[in-house]
Structure 1
Amino acid sequence: MYRARTFNLPNMLTYGRILAVPALVVCLFWPQDAWTRWLAFSIFIAAAITDYFDGYLARAWKQQSALGRMLDPIADKLLVAASLLMLVAGGTINSWSLWAAIIILCREILVSGLREFLAELQVSVPVTKVAKWKTTLQLVALGFLVAGPAGDDVVTGITRIGLGLLWIAAVLTLYTGFDYFRAGLRHLLEEDRRGQ
């Protein structure tokens, strides 16, 4: 039974997303080669699609598991963080847009720490619809940016569109991060009051 839950299709999609991260990083090591950008783009799109389907299939087929719930946000954060770092290293994200990347990375670290703290208090903070929109927008923005210069050769302005979407995602990231922080702070203050 445990083995069946560990290797069900939703979890396999999550494992695939995690394994896609090093492959994406390797492709983005050569950011000026068009063929590696398109390969990176294909890997990224496949990984981003699994982000939707693993959760959807787990709910639809009643195959939700503790392992899946733990690994899904980790896979998301690995994909986003690795993509951002490689796009910064390759120069696709530069200048003022670095701030958008910093905001997104800092929020991911803050929310991860907050969730870990709240888990110790046995408090669950559900994912809001705005947070789901934020994740979707981040993935769309990063898809444009992973295509980057190779995409600009096909359709002018792909990188600019990606950077614009990245800023919108950063604003949503601030909003949802503040939302999580406020909820966490409320539980933290309640815990401190109980301890007195």
Structure 2
Amino acid sequence: MVWNLPNILTVLRLLAAPGVAVMFLYFTRPYADWFALILFVSAAVTDWFDGYLARAWKQESKFGAMLDPIADKAMVVIALLVVTGFSGMNPWILLPATVILFREVFVSGLREFLGDTAGTLKVTQLAKWKTTAQMVALAVLFAQGVFEHYFGMHAWGMDEALVSDILNGREEDVLGLNWKYHAMNISWIVGVILLWIAGLLTMMTGWDYFTKARPYLKDN
């Protein structure tokens, strides 16, 4: 194992993955949402930095190449579990999440089966875009949870008629319910769209890897 800065960033990203879920065990909302969002975004940023620094400083290593996709998968899978759970198993989240999880398990199984020939399944540019789309989508959905909690917290104790009057401008919006409501809805829509785009890219990369692996599967 080579302990240079790029590899240290990768290890930190791997350790941050379970931390996203742990935030909701030890902190109440909205603090858990904020901590999880900050931790996830910080870890996602290191995904770009560790690769860039490794190439710029010529510090690429087998250890880093092995650990980097593992850290990415851990971040995405755990964040998906958290978002899916807090969405109440909403089908708009559950379906693309299922596609993403299935692909990750499937491709990992292919690499395990291929063994020494797994080098044929090198990370492609499309796969990098897939990972970026996944992380951006999940960051937006974490932000949606923050807006949703603040909206619910500030609307607590109000009846539906009063909330409706505030949102429609018939009552003064002292607590800023309007912008929280719209931010909650916009981030939900954007996050879901991005997650479906990520799911589509995930399917495309999974099929690409399967196509590349088929000749070796026939030999076995």
Normalising to structure 1: TM-score of the pair?
Answer: 0.87
Whether the 8 Å contact between 1:92 and 1:148 is mirrored in structure 2 is no
Q: Tell me the number of residue pairs that the alignment of Structure 1 and Structure 2 aligns.
A: 187
Q: How far does residue 91 in structure 1 lie from its aligned partner after superposition?
A: 2.0
- Between 1:85-94 and 1:127-136, the stretch displaced more is 85-94
Residue 127 (structure 2) aligns with: 131
Q: What is the CA-CA distance between 1:139 and the residue it aligns to? A: 0.5
Distance in 2 (CA, whole Å) between partners of 1:28 and 1:146 is 12
**Amino acid paired to 1:162:** G
- Verify the 8 A CA contact 1:137 1:169 in the aligned structure 2: yes
1:148 to 106, 126, 144: 144
Where does structure 1 differ by over 4 angstroms across 4 or more consecutive aligned residues?
Answer: 29-32
State how far apart, in whole Å, the 2-side matches of 1:137 and 1:93 are: 21
- The 1-side partners of 2:90 and 2:26 are apart by 17
Task: Spell out the pairing of 1:72-151 with structure 2 (5 A cutoff).
Answer: 72-91=68-87, 94-121=90-117, 123-151=119-147
CA contact (8 A) 2:111 2:118 kept: no
Q: What CA distance in whole angstroms lies between the structure 1 residues aligned with 2:137 and 2:89?
A: 11
Root-mean-square deviation (CA, aligned residues, Å) is 2.0
After TM superposition, the structure 1 stretch with the greater mean CA deviation from structure 2, 26-35 or 177-186, is 26-35
Pick the aligned partner of 2:39 from 39, 43, 51.
43
Helix, strand or coil at the partner of 1:162? helix
1:164 aligns with 2:202: no
Alignment check: 8 A CA contact 2:120 2:213 kept: no
Q: How far apart, in 1, do the equivalents of 2:101 and 2:122 lie?
A: 20
| Structure number with larger C-alpha Rg | 2
Displacement after TM superposition at 1:92 (Å) = 6.1
Aligned residues of 1:114 and 1:184 also touching (Cα < 8 A): yes
Counterpart CA distance in 1 for 2:199 and 2:28 is 26
Aligned partners of 1:104 and 1:170 also within 8 Å: yes
Is the Cα–Cα contact under 8 Å of residues 87 and 93 in structure 2 kept in the other structure?
A: no
Q: Secondary structure at the match of 1:102?
A: helix
Within the alignment, does 1:182 sit opposite 2:178 as a pair?
Answer: no
Range with greater deviation from structure 2 (21-30 or 126-135): 21-30
- The answer for the alignment partner of 1:57 in structure 2 is 53
The answer to whether structure 1 residue 21 and structure 2 residue 50 are counterparts is no
Quick one: distance in 2 between partners of 1:37 and 1:122?
38
Identity %: 46
